[in-house]
Structure 1
Amino acid sequence: MAAAAVTLLLYTAATVGLPATALGALVLFLLAAAGGAVLNLNYHRKQLPLPKWLVIVHGLAAVAGFLLLLSATWATRAA
């Protein structure tokens, strides 16, 4: 579901355009997705212990992206 949401956000950015905060959220989501792919392909698949710093950065990027997207949504509703 997260990949579908990022895809829809990318499509919206390419066709309609997004505010700067929503674009920042998109960048954070893409960074979180890249971190998740690294965690899955390089560590989980090989049954290696996950590096704690990467798990934390992955989670923080996703939460920060969500909060930025939420604030962008509230800002456009207020306008």
Structure 2
Amino acid sequence: MDTQTMLRTAIVLLAVTAVGGLLMAGMRFSGRPHPPSFLAMVHGLLAASGLTLILYAGLTSGLPGGAWGGLVLLLLAVLGGLVLNLRYHWERRELPIGLMLGHAGLAVVGFVVLAISGWNVGGA
């Protein structure tokens, strides 16, 4: 599989991950203290799958500079997601909205940077 295909596949995986994130955020903003565990797990697994594919592509074939930048932002978002999961969700505590918004903001910016770079690889 070439770099372009790997990046585009990862971008699609991350887009599906974002839909799950929006669903969970909607639940939190509607008054639920945290989403169902299965939804949080699927969100994390899809994100990890996409990021693993990006890392594999980058380490085996190389990535454009913008894709590396997007990956760094997404990895920072992962740290926020880990805190949300392990410190709050796992302990059945109310998810802090500020941390959720920071996690989402980093993820969105990282995703956009990655998507722009990934779709421009190979000129197609």
* TM-score band, normalised by shorter chain: 0.7 to 0.9
Tell me the number of residue pairs that the alignment of Structure 1 and Structure 2 aligns.
79
CA distance in 1 between partners of 2:60 and 2:118 (Å): 18
Residues 1-79 of structure 1 aligned to structure 2 (within 5 Å): 1-78=46-123
User: Over the residues paired in the alignment, what is the CA RMSD in angstroms?
Assistant: 1.5
Percent identity (aligned):
47
Structure 2: state its 5+ residue gaps: 1-45
Q: State the TM-score, normalizing by the size of structure 1.
A: 0.88
Q: State the TM-score, normalizing by the size of structure 2.
A: 0.58
Structure 1: state its 5+ residue gaps: none
CA distance in 2 between partners of 1:11 and 1:74 (Å): 17
Question: Alpha-carbon deviation of 1:56?
Answer: 0.3
2:31 aligned partner: none
Q: For residue 66 of structure 2, give the secondary structure of its aligned residue in structure 1.
A: helix
CA distance in 2 between partners of 1:72 and 1:36 (Å): 24
Question: Alpha-carbon deviation of 1:52?
Answer: 1.5
Instruction: Give the letter for the 2:101 counterpart.
Output: I
Instruction: Give the letter for the 2:72 counterpart.
Output: V
